[in-house]
Amino acid sequence: SVVSQTNTGQWNWRMKVEENTLLSSHWYYGFSSIDLSNLSSISVQDSLEFSGNVYDFDIEDGNAFLPRNNGLKIINFSDPGNLTIGDYENNLLSDQDIYIEDSKAWVSGYGGPVVLDISDPALISELGNLDLHDGGAWDIKISDSNHLYALDAFNASIRVFDLNNFASFQEISSISL
C-alpha cells in the first residue's frame, strides 16, 4: 500500500536517495529534491527547471551530475531546500549515461566515453576520452577489475576496455549483438 505520495508536476525519470532526501530528475523538465524525513508526509523541498533531455545522473559529495548534450548540469543539493545549478561544457559528451567513483565521472559520449576529474565541481577537467571513431558509447558500466564496458549502439556491439591508463585506453575485446 502507498504510505505517502507527492506530485512533482513533472515526468520523473531517475531517482537516487541520499540520507533523508530523494533526488529526482525529470526527463525533459529539470530536477527536484523530496524530503523523506517523515515518510507519511513526503514533500518537494525544491525544484529546478531547465529544458533538454535528462536520461541519467549520479551523485558525489552533495552534487548531482546530469549528462546533457555537450556538457553536464551540476546541481548542488547540500541544502536540499535551496538547490543551485552550474554548467560544464564539453562537446564530446552526450545525454545518455554517467558513472561516478573516486571523484572521476565516466560519461557516455557521441564518439566514446569521456572521463572527467570532478573533485572540484567548479573546475572540472577532462582526464581522457576514448574516441571510438566508429560509434558512440550509449551505456557504460565500470567493473571492480578496472574495465569499462561500452554499449556501442551504432555498431550493435559491446566493447571492453582497460582503464589503467586514462591517456591510452586499450580495447581488450568486443562482441557484436
The dihedrals phi and psi of 51, each to the nearest 5 degrees, come to: -90, 160
Q: Provide long-range contacts, Cβ within 8 A and 24+ apart, for 161-169.
A: 161/113, 161/130, 166/115, 166/127, 166/128, 167/128, 169/128, 169/130
20 grid coordinates: 533523508
- pTM recorded for the entire structure: 0.84
Identify the pLDDT of residue 142: 86
pLDDT of the residue at 10:
60
Please list the pLDDT of the chain residue by residue as tens digits (177 residues): 456 666 665 666 788 999 999 999 887 778 999 999 999 999 999 999 887 777 789 999 999 999 887 788 999 999 999 999 999 988 777 667 888 988 999 888 777 788 899 999 999 998 887 766 566 677 888 887 788 888 887 778 898 888 887 667 788 898 988
